[in-house]
Copies of this chain bind each other. A is one copy, B any other.
Amino acid sequence: MATIISLDLSRRKASEHALDNLAALVGEDMTAVNQLIIRRMESHVPLIPQLAGHIIAAGGKRLRPILTLASARLCGYDGTRHLKLSASVEFIHTATLLHDDVVDASDLRRGGPSANALFGNEASVLVGDFLFSRAFQLMVEDGSIDVLRILSTASAVIAEGEVLQLTTTNNSATSEQAYLEVVRAKTAELFAAACRIGAVVAARPSSEEEALRTYGLNLGIAFQIVDDVLDYSAEQARLGKTVGDDFREGKMTLPVILAINRGSEAERAFWHRTLDETDFRDGDLEHAQDLLRRHNALRDAIDRARHYGAIARDALGIFHDHPIKQALLDIIDFTVEREF
């Protein structure tokens, strides 16, 4: 199948390397953070670094800790406090990943071997708890109550978002607004906190803290929307990634919500049978993808993501020109225009 949306080629070109560029700009910091991550996931209980290492090594992009490093440097910070806080952000993210993957016996497992498939639910939960506690220990070592407030609040909101998502799962009546509330809480809040604490360690005025919070929050929303689009994308299949995990799990994501709202009664019956009743038959995923295409649901979901990207872009307007500012702007394009 062909790529569904054609993009301005030069823009795509620039965005392709955006994450690498940003990572390179904070390369030295990131090396220190990676060492810190490895050192601080140590424990005299061997299963902890073993399991944590499995997921942290697989984690890959390190987008959230990079955002903390970049935000601090953009704010002119030249100390080292941001290193521990960046590691702390990654630990919180890793803990939520571990807890995300805990499934009930009746649920499907993801494509790859998740930590809980390899080590069991209990170990995944407990190592997640350990990393979460370790994140708070790192913050305590830093000593800023402001940072602790921001990240403890973000953690509570993330958990609320995840629970809210459970209550929308297998419910094809979920509204776009409910979806946005889940995304904002479960994903965007940590992006926002990761960026915001960069301004906090740099002791910048609240206008800059707010600008970075706005950037992170909206980047995070865009990121999650695109992630949800990619789950149905033919391009993903071409790249050898699994397609349709969200569909099979009855997750209510934006593409599906748009298709349901725009669909006929017969189509809604199809979505109800599959998403609500988890009664799957041969060809259902292909039919779902066909409906998404027919209603331009993937394209329009990306358009929605672009809107949040635009808010993120404008938020950085108050910062003077700086290679990191440009890289943060490119990250928006990278996020929205990822291959799908």
Q: Taking beta carbons and an 8 Å cutoff, which residues of A are in contact with B?
A: 43-48, 95-96, 99, 102-105, 107, 120-123, 125-130, 132-134, 136-137, 139-140, 143, 145, 148-149, 152-153, 155-156, 158-160, 162-164, 166-167
Docked Cα-Cα span, A194 to B160, in Å, equals: 26
Docked Cα-Cα span, A127 to B137, in Å, equals: 21
Known A-B contacts A104-B121, A159-B127, A162-B129; the reply to A167 vs B47 at CB < 8 A is yes
* Shortest distance from the beta carbon of A70 to any chain B beta carbon, whole Å: 25
Sample of 20 more A-B contacts, CB < 8 Å, known A102-B121, A132-B155, A133-B155? A43-B160, A45-B164, A47-B163, A48-B160, A96-B129, A99-B129, A104-B120, A104-B121, A127-B159, A129-B132, A129-B155, A129-B162, A133-B152, A136-B148, A136-B155, A140-B145, A140-B149, A140-B152, A143-B145, A145-B145
Report yes or no: A159 in contact with B143, Cβ–Cβ below 8 A: no
| Partner pick for A130 among B47, B125, B134, B160, CB 8 A cutoff | B160
Known A-B contacts A43-B160, A152-B140; the reply to A99 vs B120 at CB < 8 A is no
Report yes or no: B125 in contact with A102, Cβ–Cβ below 8 A: yes
- Please tell me how many copies of the chain the complex holds: 2
Q: Which residues of B contact A158 (CB under 8 A)?
A: 129, 133
Report yes or no: B122 in contact with A104, Cβ–Cβ below 8 A: yes
Docked Cα-Cα span, A271 to B121, in Å, equals: 26
* Shortest distance from the beta carbon of A161 to any chain B beta carbon, whole Å: 8
Closest Cβ neighbor of A44 among chain B residues: B160
Q: Which residues of B contact A103 (CB under 8 A)?
A: 121-122
Closest Cβ neighbor of A96 among chain B residues: B129
Report yes or no: A45 in contact with B167, Cβ–Cβ below 8 A: yes
A126, A128, A143, A155: most-surrounded residue (chain B CB, <10 A):
A126
Docked Cα-Cα span, A162 to B128, in Å, equals: 12
| Partner pick for A156 among B99, B104, B134, B159, CB 8 A cutoff | B134
Report yes or no: B163 in contact with A123, Cβ–Cβ below 8 A: yes
11 A-B pairs, CB-CB below 8 angstroms? Answer: A47-B167, A102-B102, A125-B125, A127-B159, A127-B163, A130-B156, A130-B159, A130-B163, A132-B159, A136-B152, A136-B155
* Shortest distance from the beta carbon of A99 to any chain B beta carbon, whole Å: 5
Docked Cα-Cα span, A102 to B156, in Å, equals: 20
Report yes or no: B102 in contact with A122, Cβ–Cβ below 8 A: yes
Report yes or no: B47 in contact with A166, Cβ–Cβ below 8 A: yes
Closest Cβ neighbor of A132 among chain B residues: B132
Closest Cβ neighbor of A161 among chain B residues: B45
Docked Cα-Cα span, A215 to B129, in Å, equals: 26
Q: Which residues of B contact A126 (CB under 8 A)?
A: 99, 159, 162-163, 166
